[in-house]
């Protein structure tokens, strides 16, 4: 066989091309671009988010300061205080009520940031003065009534309790989505006599938070307690917002991103937490996309080159060898493949394959011919061992019948004897016959036995007639039936033999059942006869027949077929012949 030449090895061709031609340059270029651009974009995004958050929180703070100034008008203007003094001196006056309501309407009714303004005196908290913003689209009379009732039923007592320590300060309170600004009105001695409550509209007060870059949802905390949520499900850890921050803080753990700022407002700490749209942040890395696209282009080009190289140098020669192996697996021994000159390795493999294939063909043909010759010799030798003793007994019976009775049954016995002689002689040298023909030999034998025993001998048959065309080895049933008669009838001079033929899966089962009882000595003898050892010289012809049937079946079909002899539940002797059905006989049931 030709030795390997000086051509370069296929493995080193692939390694050098991939390593020095594409992988190292592409890896260095891609990683450098990714780190550089990614760092730049990340810093810019963080700076933009922090700046926009600072501005938005500053605007929110200004909005609250404006609300504080508006609330001071109720303290600095003498209208409410004068009305309260008149009430103390002169009692309740309808005119005074109108003046208070008019004052509230003039000061707070037309500011879109205020949903409703309420005032009540501590001496008579049940008397509630109020005004509402008529420019709110959904602020109908029914809704106003609901706001007023909610405040009186759920918030008024809390507001009164909170105002006890409020002095002249301002406090924000929240209840079920309502945001209130609460302020005490005090007299000249700084003693509170009334409370002003302004229900603020969160959407307008916090509108600037929507301008934060990447904003998706926001949440407002007062003293660590969430009071306003806009779609945020309190996934943010409150521990981050316990202390005021100098500026906005950007937080990103790759799965979710936030920006928050904590400010000191009056006597309270207000934390503004904004959830950012991670997708928007990712979209800003569009430059990286182009880098990846460029890298992907080179990678695809690399893959195409490598694919073509591997297909030409490896895949095609390998497929040729695989196809050759499949041909051999299908029995096409000696199949040759075309020798590939693309590389030394595959040229060597192709030549080695062709040599082994030719050698395999020669070895298989030689072994197969020897095995066939051995099988034929064994089968012929086994068939030749049939003892003529039975034929002698039969002729004696026929002679006796003819002398004594001149009975026409003699003709039937002669025909049966002829049938058995034809099967035994097997002049046509057939190895297989149809099951129907094999059963005809059994019927001929049983006819002779019936003539011998008369009504004392009975035969029962359960045969699947759809199996009569199946091919079986010649003379495999008659010796078993003869053994059943010898074992189950001969000793008692009477008996019953059952013959059952059926199929299961790809096997044909032939069962011969007789009334004889297997003794321990019988079981030992059967075990010896059906084993692999040589037969004893003194074995009877019936025992040899059983042994021959089992060996013939195993030679023809393999170890999963053959003959078994055992006892059933009724203690009868059951001889089972198992024959493997051929593919043409393997029809559906």
Task: Kindly state the average pLDDT of the residues 166-171.
Answer: 86
Do the beta carbons of residue 420 and residue 439 sit within 8 Å?
no
Domain boundary among 317, 340, 372: 372
| Residue 182, in any domain of the structure | yes
| Residue 169, in any domain of the structure | yes
| Residue 5, in any domain of the structure | no
Domain boundary among 204, 220, 254: 204
CA distance 442 to 426: 15
Domain enclosing residue 567, as ranges: 385-580
Claim to verify: residue 494 and residue 420 sit in the same structural domain: yes
Claim to verify: residue 31 and residue 161 sit in the same structural domain: no
Name the residue with higher pLDDT: 280 or 7: 280
SS percent in the chain: helix, strand, coil, step 5 = 55, 20, 25
Task: Kindly state the average pLDDT of the residues 126-131.
Answer: 88
| Residue 247, in any domain of the structure | no
**Which string of b and e fits 494-503 if b means at least 16 CB within 10 Å?**
ebbbbbbbeb
Question: To the nearest 10°, the Cα dihedral for 478, 483, 485, 489?
Answer: 180
Claim to verify: residue 410 and residue 486 sit in the same structural domain: yes
Task: Kindly state the average pLDDT of the residues 263-277.
Answer: 85
The predicted structure's pLDDT at residue 426: 55
Claim to verify: residue 538 and residue 436 sit in the same structural domain: yes
Comparing 48-62, 288-302, 423-437, which segment has the lowest mean pLDDT?
288-302
Q: Which stretch, 136-140, 148-152, 306-310, 583-587, has highest mean pLDDT? A: 148-152
Look at residue 551 and give its three-state secondary structure: helix
Claim to verify: residue 21 and residue 97 sit in the same structural domain: no
Indicate the number of domains in the chain.
4
Claim to verify: residue 358 and residue 452 sit in the same structural domain: no
The predicted structure's pLDDT at residue 355: 85
Claim to verify: residue 468 and residue 548 sit in the same structural domain: yes
| Residue 269, in any domain of the structure | no
Q: Which stretch, 2-11, 144-153, 509-518, has highest mean pLDDT? A: 509-518
Give the CB-side neighbour count of residue 140, counting CA atoms within 13 A: 3
The predicted structure's pLDDT at residue 380: 52
Name the residue with higher pLDDT: 518 or 308: 518
Claim to verify: residue 402 and residue 491 sit in the same structural domain: yes
Q: What's the order of all strands across the beta sheet hosting 562-567?
A: 457-463, 495-504, 507-514, 573-580, 562-567
Claim to verify: residue 458 and residue 513 sit in the same structural domain: yes
Task: Kindly state the average pLDDT of the residues 467-495.
Answer: 85
Claim to verify: residue 408 and residue 448 sit in the same structural domain: yes
Task: Please name which of 348, 356, 366, 347 lies closest in space to residue 327, comparing C-alpha atoms.
Answer: 356
Q: Which stretch, 96-110, 127-141, 519-533, has highest mean pLDDT? A: 96-110
Q: What is the DSSP string of 186-217?
A: E-TTS-EEEEEEEEE-HHHHTGGGGGSTTEEE
Residue 495 — very low, low, confident or very high, per pLDDT cuts 50/70/90?
A: confident
The predicted structure's pLDDT at residue 575: 92
| Residue 542, in any domain of the structure | yes
What percent of the chain shows pLDDT beyond 70?
72
Name the residue with higher pLDDT: 98 or 23: 98
| Residue 271, in any domain of the structure | no
| Residue 235, in any domain of the structure | no
Domain boundary among 149, 176, 204: 204
Claim to verify: residue 366 and residue 314 sit in the same structural domain: no
**Full 3-state SS string of 336-366:** CCCCCCCCHHHHHHHHHHHHHHHHHHHHHHH
Which residues does residue 576 pair with via DSSP β-bridges, in sequence order?
Answer: 511, 564
Q: What CATH code is carried by the domain that includes residue 133? A: 3.30.450
Tens digits of residue pLDDT in 205-246: 888 888 888 788 888 888 877 877 665 555 555 566 667 888
Claim to verify: residue 81 and residue 198 sit in the same structural domain: yes
Tens digits of residue pLDDT in 509-560: 999 998 888 888 888 888 888 876 554 544 565 677 788 888 888 888 888 8
Cβ count near 505 (within 10 Å): 8
CA distance 31 to 27: 6
Task: Kindly state the average pLDDT of the residues 340-363.
Answer: 78
Tens digits of residue pLDDT in 187-196: 878 889 899 9
Please state at what angle helix 94-108 crosses helix 24-76, rounded to 10 degrees.
Answer: 150
């Amino acid at each position: 066989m030709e030795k390997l030449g000086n051509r370069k090895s296929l493995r080193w061709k692939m390694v050098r091309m991939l390593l020095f031609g594409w992988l190292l340059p592409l890896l260095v270029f891609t990683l450098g671009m990714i780190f550089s651009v990614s760092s730049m974009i990340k810093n810019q995004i963080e700076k933009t988010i922090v700046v926009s958050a600072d501005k938005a929180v500053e605007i929110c703070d200004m909005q609250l300061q404006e609300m504080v100034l508006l609330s001071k008008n109720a303290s600095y203007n003498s209208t409410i205080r004068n009305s309260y003094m008149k009430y103390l001196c002169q009692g309740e006056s309808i005119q005074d009520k109108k003046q208070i309501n008019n004052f509230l309407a003039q000061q707070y009714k037309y500011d879109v940031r205020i949903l409703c303004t309420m005032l009540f005196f501590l001496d008579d908290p049940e008397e509630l003065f109020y005004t509402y913003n008529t420019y709110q689209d959904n602020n109908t009379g029914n809704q106003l009534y609901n706001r007023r009732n909610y405040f009186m039923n759920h918030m008024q007592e809390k507001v009164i309790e909170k105002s006890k320590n409020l002095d002249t300060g301002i406090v924000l309170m929240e209840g079920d989505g309502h945001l209130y600004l609460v302020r005490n009105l005090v007299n000249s001695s700084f003693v509170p006599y009334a409370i002003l409550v302004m229900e603020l509209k969160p959407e307008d007060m916090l509108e600037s938070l929507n301008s934060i870059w990447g904003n998706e949802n926001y949440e407002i905390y007062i003293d660590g307690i969430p009071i306003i949520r806009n779609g945020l499900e309190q996934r943010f850890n409150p521990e981050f917002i316990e202390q005021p921050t100098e500026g906005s803080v950007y937080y990103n753990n790759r799965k979710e991103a936030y920006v928050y700022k904590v400010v000191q407002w009056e006597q309270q700490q207000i934390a503004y937490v904004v959830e950012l749209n991670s997708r928007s942040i990712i979209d800003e890395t569009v430059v990286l996309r182009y880098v990846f696209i460029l890298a992907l282009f080179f990678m695809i080009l690399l893959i195409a080159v490598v694919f073509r190289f591997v297909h030409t140098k490896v895949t095609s020669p390998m497929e040729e060898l695989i196809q050759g192996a499949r041909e051999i697996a299908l029995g096409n021994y000696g199949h040759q493949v075309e020798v590939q000159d693309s590389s030394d390795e595959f040229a060597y493999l192709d030549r080695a394959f062709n040599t082994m294939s030719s050698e395999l063909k020669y070895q298989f043909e030689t072994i197969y011919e020897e095995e066939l010759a051995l099988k034929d010799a064994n089968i012929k030798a086994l068939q030749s061992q049939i003892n003529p003793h039975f034929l002698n007994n039969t002729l004696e019976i026929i002679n006796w019948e003819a002398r004594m009775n001149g009975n026409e049954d003699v003709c039937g016995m002669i025909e049966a004897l002829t049938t058995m002689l034809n099967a035994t002689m097997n002049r046509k040298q057939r190895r297989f016959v149809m099951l129907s023909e094999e059963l005809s030999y059994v019927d001929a034998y049983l006819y002779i036995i019936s003539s011998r025993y008369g009504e004392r001998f009975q035969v029962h048959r359960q045969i699947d007639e759809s199996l009569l065309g199946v091919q079986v080895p010649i003379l495999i049933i008659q010796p078993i039936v003869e053994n059943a008669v010898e074992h189950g009838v001969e000793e008692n001079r009477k008996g019953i033999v059952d013959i059952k033929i059926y199929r299961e899966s790809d096997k044909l089962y032939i069962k011969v059942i007789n009334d004889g009882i297997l003794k321990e000595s019988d079981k030992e003898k059967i075990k010896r006869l059906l084993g692999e050892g040589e037969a004893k010289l003194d074995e009877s012809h019936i025992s040899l027949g059983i042994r021959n049937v089992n060996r013939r079946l195993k030679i023809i079909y393999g170890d999963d077929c053959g003959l078994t002899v055992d006892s059933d539940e009724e203690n009868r002797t059951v001889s089972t012949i198992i024959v493997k059905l051929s593919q043409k006989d393997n029809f559906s049931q």
